[in-house]
């Protein structure tokens, strides 16, 4: 029953919504994700590395969101997509990511625009906030916050925990309960430090793990350089059902590519905006551009790395029964560089998963903070619950952890995409303001540019308007 509902949601609702919203923002902005691709890197270089007294830096917000996006989805998720949907699933992951860059840019910029100064002197924001203050909705922000808590706090953390313990068991022979216990204790130390500790942790770990994993994949490509064109051709043929693939051809490739693509890069899901809103940046679109870059890093770079590691090996055979999940990636890399390959994938996954769980926990806390109910009690209880969940999920099976996260992730995305569609005019006005200011100098946002919106003066450093506060 759960699988049937999930398949219906993804087959008839979410695919259409993801593509429709992504195309609307892409076409409406004249493909801003391509036009301002260089500006994404310049914005990253110009961000304050260590943050400010008001909030974390744009760079820290990027690495925290990359920490969340880069994880089990890039290693185990890609392997699952190829196993169930064939090599063509990667093509659809690319396509979802390309239009998703525009979606991510706008959702993160809107989160910045409608962020609120919180009692602990940090910013808070995200879809619940732009639904409430941008659209005046009261019920949907609550629904979104509950779904965010279920999807991120439970579903995604369960996937990360399962992937880590299964990988460590395969590579090092460590029983899942032991690695699950260690992971639980490590995450407790990181989670109880709040967003600033997560940001500092991610600032060190994320660049190392991204560069290291990319280096491994590059080594595999160089070793098998003559076979790369054939692997890419197989991806393209399978994407359109021109090759027999496991799971039923074209439909399986599209569904698995979209599911695992959204799970991996989260564009349109509304998760990254929760972190993007915490950054102290001069203009909302500045952070939107930086966050769009994280989608590119996640899918176009790292997911492709995993796919090539698998497809350039003999471990995967289209249409045949193959090993599942993380084991497929581990065995493929071991074939390329020897037995140490399996252990290196496991180490990479542990680093990815630790940073992802830390990110997920912050998102869960942000959803709790929206309700503003005894945060000094509810947030520590949530952290303890996540620690218990990590231990539980380490002993579960692949089907259980993925089926639950697929359903709640789909529902979460539908709610967020609905809000983004409604906020399209605001997003376009915000981008226009950014480009006009950028043409004459460094763009700095002023509330007076959008006087009809319900913005937080404390967040943008301007005195409250008596007409609005009275």
Mean pLDDT of 123-136: 90
19 pLDDT above the threshold of 80: yes
| Confidence category of residue 466, pLDDT binned at 50, 70, 90 | very low
> Token digits for 383?
């952290």
Q: Give percent of the chain with pLDDT exceeding 90.
A: 17
pLDDT of residue 468: 41
Among 59-63, 216-220, 272-276, the minimum mean pLDDT is found in 59-63
- Alpha-carbon distance 201 to 206, whole Å? 8
- Alpha-carbon distance 289 to 130, whole Å? 18
**DSSP result, 443-463:** ----GGGSTTS---HHHHT-P
DSSP tag of 226: G
> Token digits for 244?
């027999």
- How far, in whole angstroms, is CA 420 from its chain's centroid? 17
pLDDT of residue 245: 47
pLDDT of residue 234: 86
> Token digits for 401?
């952890």
- Alpha-carbon distance 439 to 117, whole Å? 30
Among 87-101, 193-207, 228-242, 347-361, the minimum mean pLDDT is found in 193-207
pLDDT of residue 361: 77
| Confidence category of residue 196, pLDDT binned at 50, 70, 90 | low
- Alpha-carbon distance 417 to 111, whole Å? 14
- Alpha-carbon distance 391 to 387, whole Å? 7
pLDDT of residue 421: 96
| Confidence category of residue 250, pLDDT binned at 50, 70, 90 | low
Predicted structure pTM score: 0.80
In whole numbers, what is the pLDDT of the chain averaged over residues?
79
89 pLDDT above the threshold of 70: yes
Structure-model confidence comparison of residues 169 and 37, the more confident one: 37
User: How many other CB atoms sit within 10 Å of the CB of residue 428?
Assistant: 15
Facing residues of 56 across strands? 279
**Coil, strand or helix: which one is 268?**
coil
Domains and CATH numbers, the chain: 2-431 (1.20.1740.10)
| Confidence category of residue 464, pLDDT binned at 50, 70, 90 | very low
Mean pLDDT of 410-429: 93
| Confidence category of residue 368, pLDDT binned at 50, 70, 90 | confident
Q: Give percent of the chain with pLDDT exceeding 70.
A: 77
- Alpha-carbon distance 54 to 48, whole Å? 12
Strand duo 116-117 + 123-124: pairing: antiparallel
**Coil, strand or helix: which one is 350?**
helix
Q: Residue 355 burial (CB < 10 Å; 0-12/13-18/19+)?
A: buried
51 pLDDT above the threshold of 60: no
- Alpha-carbon distance 23 to 294, whole Å? 19
Structure-model confidence comparison of residues 403 and 401, the more confident one: 403
pLDDT digits (tens, 9 = 90+) for 274-324: 888 888 888 999 889 988 888 888 888 888 888 898 999 888 876 666 666
């Amino acid at each position: 029953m759960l699988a049937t509902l999930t398949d219906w949601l993804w087959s008839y609702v979410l695919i259409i919504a993801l593509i429709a919203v992504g195309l609307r923002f892409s076409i409406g902005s004249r493909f801003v994700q391509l036009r301002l691709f260089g500006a994404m890197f310049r914005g990253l270089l110009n961000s304050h590395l260590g943050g400010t007294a008001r909030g974390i830096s744009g760079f820290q917000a990027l690495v925290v969101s990359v920490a969340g996006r880069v994880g089990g989805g890039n290693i185990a998720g890609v392997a699952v997509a190829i196993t169930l949907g064939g090599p063509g699933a990667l093509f659809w992951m690319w396509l979802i990511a390309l239009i998703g860059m525009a979606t991510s840019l706008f959702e993160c910029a809107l989160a910045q625009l409608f962020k609120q100064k919180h009692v602990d002197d940090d910013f808070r924001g995200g879809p619940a906030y732009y639904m409430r203050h941008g659209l005046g909705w009261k019920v949907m922000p609550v629904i979104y916050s509950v779904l965010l808590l279920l999807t991120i706090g439970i579903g995604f953390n369960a996937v990360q925990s399962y992937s880590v313990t299964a990988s460590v068991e395969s590579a090092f022979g460590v029983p899942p309960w032991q690695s699950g216990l260690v992971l639980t204790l490590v995450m407790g130390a990181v989670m109880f430090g709040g967003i600033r500790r997560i940001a500092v942790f991610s600032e060190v770990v994320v660049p190392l793990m991204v560069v290291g994993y990319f280096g491994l994949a590059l080594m595999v490509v160089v070793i098998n350089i003559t076979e790369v064109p054939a692997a890419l051709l197989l991806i393209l043929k399978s994407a359109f059902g021109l090759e027999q693939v496991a799971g039923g051809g074209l439909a399986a490739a599209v569904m698995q590519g979209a599911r695992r693509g959204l799970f991996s890069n989260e564009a349109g899901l509304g998760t990254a905006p929760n972190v993007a809103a915490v950054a102290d940046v001069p203009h909302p679109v500045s952070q939107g551009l930086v966050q769009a870059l994280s989608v590119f890093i996640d899918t176009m770079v790292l997911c492709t790395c995993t796919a090539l590691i698998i497809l350039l090996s003999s471990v995967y055979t289209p249409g045949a029964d193959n090993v599942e999940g993380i084991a497929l990636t581990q065995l493929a890399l071991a074939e390329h560089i020897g037995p140490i390959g399996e252990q290196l994938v496991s180490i990479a996954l542990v680093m990815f998963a630790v940073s992802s769980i830390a990110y997920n926990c912050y998102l869960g806390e942000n959803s709790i903070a929206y309700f503003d109910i005894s945060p000094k009690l509810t947030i520590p209880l949530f952290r303890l619950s996540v620690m218990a969940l990590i231990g539980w999920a380490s002993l579960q099976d692949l089907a259980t952890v993925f089926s639950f996260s697929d359903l709640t992730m789909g529902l979460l995305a539908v709610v967020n995409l609905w809000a983004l569609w409604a906020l399209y005019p605001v997003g376009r006005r915000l981008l226009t303001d950014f480009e006009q200011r950028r043409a004459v100098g460094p763009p700095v946002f002023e509330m007076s540019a959008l006087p009809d919106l319900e913005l937080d003066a404390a967040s943008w450093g301007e005195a409250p308007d008596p007409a609005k506060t009275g």
